[in-house]
Every structure is written in C-alpha cells, then in structure tokens.
Amino acid sequence: MSEESFNTLSGKVDDLIDLCAKMKRENQALKANNSNLQHEREQLMEKNQLAKTKLQSLLDRLKSMHNS
C-alpha cells in the first residue's frame, strides 16, 4: 500500500471516528429530549384527567341542582 493510499485511508478512518462521536452526542441529546417529552406528556395527561374530573363534578352538580 502506498503512503498516499494509507494517508487517504487514515483520513477516512479519522472522519468515521469523528462522525461516530458526533452521532453518539446527537443520540444522547435525542434520548434526553425524548425523556423530557415523555415526562411532559405524563404531566399533561394528569392535568387533562384532573380537568375532566372537575368538569364531570361540575356537570353532576348542575344536574343535581336542575333536578331539585
């Protein structure tokens, strides 16, 4: 293998190493973002359920007042 070919191959390997490191950082950031979004979704679902419960309670009270 000539020195030029070796240098070209070495450069490509270095580029692959850099790309792998970049992809690993991006993957970690995406995982963190995904985790945050899942937590936010859970909180929103809890708030939604609380709002439904309050609304149902209000409707029940209105029905009760109407029937009295």
pLDDT digits (tens, 9 = 90+) for 34-58: 999 999 999 999 999 999 999 999 9
Tell me, what's the pLDDT at 15? Answer: 98
% of the chain beyond a pLDDT of 70: 100
DSSP-derived secondary structure for 1-65: --HHHHHHHHHHHHHHHHHHHHHHHHHHHHHHHHHHHHHHHHHHHHHHHHHHHHHHHHHHHHHHH
- For residues 25 and 18, what is the distance between their CA atoms, to the nearest angstrom? 11
With a cut of 90, say whether residue 26 has pLDDT above it.
yes
- Predicted confidence at residue 48, as pLDDT, reads 98
Q: How far apart are CA 63 and CA 68, in angstroms?
A: 9
Domain ranges of the chain: 1-68
Q: How confident is the model at residue 1 (pLDDT cuts 50, 70, 90)?
A: confident
Which has the closest alpha carbon to 32: 44, 42, 24?
24
